[in-house]
Structure 1
Amino acid sequence: MARMGRPTVDVVLTEDERETLLRWARRATSSQALALRCRIVLACAGGASNTQAGRDLSVHPVTVAKWRRRFAADRLEGLVDEPRPGAPRTVSDAQVEDVVVRTLESTPRDATHWSTRSMAAEVGLSQSTVARIWRTFGLKPHMTDTFKLSTDPQFIDKVRDIVGLYLAPPEHALVLCVDEKSQIQALDRSAPVLPMMPGMPERRTHDYSRGGTTTLFAALNVATGQVIGQIHRRHRATEFKKFLARIDNEVPAGLDVHLICDNYATHKTPAIQKWLAAHPRFHMHFTPTYSSWLNQVERWFGLLTERQLRRGAHKNVQALERDIRTWIKHWNENPKPFTWVKTADEILERLTGYLKRIKDPSH
């Protein structure tokens, strides 16, 4: 006796449907799922049974039967995934707003800042929900940053002067950002460093031995990114004057030299003033107090620290100085200048915004 089952639905295509199915099946931008469904329908329209089509296309016959029925009922639209119903929303807009407002405008009674646990207990939501809301709105109560306001009475004038050198440097002149990185320590770990392995980071001991300190004087060419460096064991006015003489020797005689420096006392001693008077092509531009961020060489020092010093191991000062000189040499082989994009007006406007947000009127 023949086995009885669900009757097979015949698939008959119009010319337009056949062309569309062929195009979708071959188009590179079609999803793999849609292309497979198109091939299933084409096979069924060609007279293949569910079993035969499934064998040819490497899918289960039940899958062939499903898309045969869907196409017969809804034609081409039946091949598109139906919208899947999701779980009903459990957190309202008012609850989201409450979490954001509490995070920004209040603190818990027993702590200086909110945690996901304390906020969840406060508003009656889960920790994961609070974490998602904070992540969505970019809120990080556990993090803090520092800043320092300049008390320099000439702050505005100095900002406009230095930013002007960055954005519109004078003709026939070189703009150099100058500073010294002092107290660079030669540190050597108490045991050899264990190299990185798959699934395990590089490991090193927490303790170290000190091998002495040195100082790097550096002048960053704003236009090219090249660096003039000189290493001394001390950082007095005597060493700074030697560094100025090094700059004088390396910069072509026909160019004026504009030096951007901080307010360190070494840069203003009578000996330095006398040297500058004897070299009139040198022009000093001092950053405002507590405003080292205006000096681009500080960013270069950050790269030196990150790529060479922080994880370096040096048994003595000589090894440290040798690595610093090598790093500067490699940097100058392919220098990359920093691009200054903020105008003085934008900086001052941003500072005004900070001042308006300070709650304590005494500051």
Structure 2
Amino acid sequence: MRARIVLAAAAGASNAAIAAQCRVHVDTARKWRVRFYTRRLAGLADAARTGRPRRFTDVQAAQVKALACELPAERGVPLSRWSTADLADEAVAAGVVADISASTVARWLTADAIKPWRHRSWIFPRDPHFATKASRVLDLYARMWDGQPLDDGDFVISADEKTSIQARCRCHRTLPPGRSRLMRVEHEYDRGGALAYLAALDVHRGTVFGHCEPSTGISPFARLVEQVMTREPYASARRVFWIVDNGSSHRGQASIDRMSQSWPTTRLVHLPVHASWLNQIEIYFSIVQRKVVTPNDFYDLADVEDRLTAFQDHYNLGARPFNWRYTKKDLDGLLKRLATHGPLPTAA
């Protein structure tokens, strides 16, 4: 920037013109013109500054950040993850710096939002046909199937089970929130059993259908399908696509055959293994978890079922489709990033 200012001045430009051309303040253009005029090339260097000189170079800071982006085990350090103090010790041991404090390391990492002391769980895709199966589901969300758009007689249903919803009866009643006081939920409770909540979401209308069962299985899932398929507009639909994961209630070709025999207009579409995050019903279940189940304080299983059913009715009053933005382009980008971690394992 300083060189461009000087060259523009040599070409006869005014300070105002130089400022506009280099996108700087006019005082900045004037400053570097004067500095070059009085001191020539030496005037374009940084002036001496007050205060303590820098102890570390940019290269050393980058090397410490690189250490933070390695697993400790890769460097022979018996740790599961780094702390700033551990990184400071490792930087000294590796000869990156002679001495450094944990606070300095923390400041460098904060600048790039690197947090090696935190972690999240993930499951690496192991289905060799992950892209193909996931793409079919994303096409359905975009109202496409086999390269053709869906018509008004086609519907897309996302279904699954939310298992083991417990009835925890607190040993003291829950106290409501008040001024400068949070809602208080008793820590101890009596167990009142658990049930499963089976639900189906119409992806493009936003409506939810569901009911509770003592447990999951083929028969409970069949009752959920019947609950949906015996009402309009699904009973007279041309095609109803059911998106499901690979749970035991609806796994494999056998489940596809059962479905088509009982309901000829249905198409069971399986997600890849460990891809429930592509199932939109999971978004609804997360809402149920936050708004209904947490904190868990119910008298008995009947109370749990009544609350879930009432919330489902309440939700459907203002139901609208989720604003789904994840596309096949995003999926391709994800798989390319995952490919940098190694090839996808083949099926056993």
**CA RMSD, Structure 1 to Structure 2 (Å):** 3.0
- Share of identical aligned residues, percent? 27
Determine helix, strand or coil for the equivalent of 1:105. coil
Q: For residue 123 of structure 2, what is the aligned residue in structure 1?
A: 148
| Within-5 A mapping of 1:79-90 | none
Of the three residues 125, 130, 133, the one matched with 2:105 is 130
| Within-5 A mapping of 1:1-363 | 91-105=56-70, 107=72, 109-123=77-91, 124-169=99-144, 170-172=150-152, 173-196=154-177, 201-252=182-233, 253-267=236-250, 273-274=257-258, 276-358=260-342
Using the size of structure 1 for normalisation, the TM-score is 0.68
**Higher CA-based Rg:** 1
- What are structure 2's unaligned runs of at least 5 residues? 1-49, 92-98, 145-149
State whether residues 263 and 287 of structure 1, in contact with CA within 8 Å, keep that contact through their aligned partners in structure 2.
yes
Q: Deviation per CA, 1:233-272, whole angstroms, max 9, x where unpaired?
A: 2322222212111101233124421110112232259687
Q: Structure 2: how far apart are the matches of 1:185 and 1:349?
A: 39
- What are structure 1's unaligned runs of at least 5 residues? 1-84
Larger RCO (CA within 8 A; separation ≥ 6): 2
State whether residues 190 and 209 of structure 1, in contact with CA within 8 Å, keep that contact through their aligned partners in structure 2.
yes
More off after superposition, 351-360 vs 176-185: 351-360
More off after superposition, 226-235 vs 337-346: 337-346
Q: Structure 1: how far apart are the matches of 2:122 and 2:158?
A: 22
State whether residues 164 and 196 of structure 2, in contact with CA within 8 Å, keep that contact through their aligned partners in structure 1.
yes
Q: Structure 1: how far apart are the matches of 2:216 and 2:307?
A: 19
Q: Structure 1: how far apart are the matches of 2:205 and 2:239?
A: 16
Over 3 Å counting, the alpha-carbon distance change for 1:198 and 1:121 in structure 2 is farther
Using the size of structure 2 for normalisation, the TM-score is 0.71
Q: Structure 2: how far apart are the matches of 1:200 and 1:218?
A: 36
Q: CA deviation at 1:309?
A: 0.7
Q: Structure 2: how far apart are the matches of 1:196 and 1:152?
A: 48
Q: What is the identity, as a one-letter code, of the residue corresponding to 2:61?
A: V
Q: Structure 2: how far apart are the matches of 1:186 and 1:133?
A: 48
Over 3 Å counting, the alpha-carbon distance change for 1:256 and 1:239 in structure 2 is same
Q: Deviation per CA, 1:295-314, whole angstroms, max 9, x where unpaired?
A: 11112111211222121300
More off after superposition, 127-136 vs 195-204: 195-204
Q: Deviation per CA, 1:168-207, whole angstroms, max 9, x where unpaired?
A: 3411211110111122111122333344455554443433
Determine helix, strand or coil for the equivalent of 1:184. strand
Q: For residue 9 of structure 1, what is the aligned residue in structure 2?
A: none
Q: Structure 1: how far apart are the matches of 2:335 and 2:121?
A: 14
Q: Structure 2: how far apart are the matches of 1:329 and 1:360?
A: 43
Q: Deviation per CA, 1:283-325, whole angstroms, max 9, x where unpaired?
A: 1101111211121111211121122212130020011111111
Over 3 Å counting, the alpha-carbon distance change for 1:136 and 1:197 in structure 2 is farther
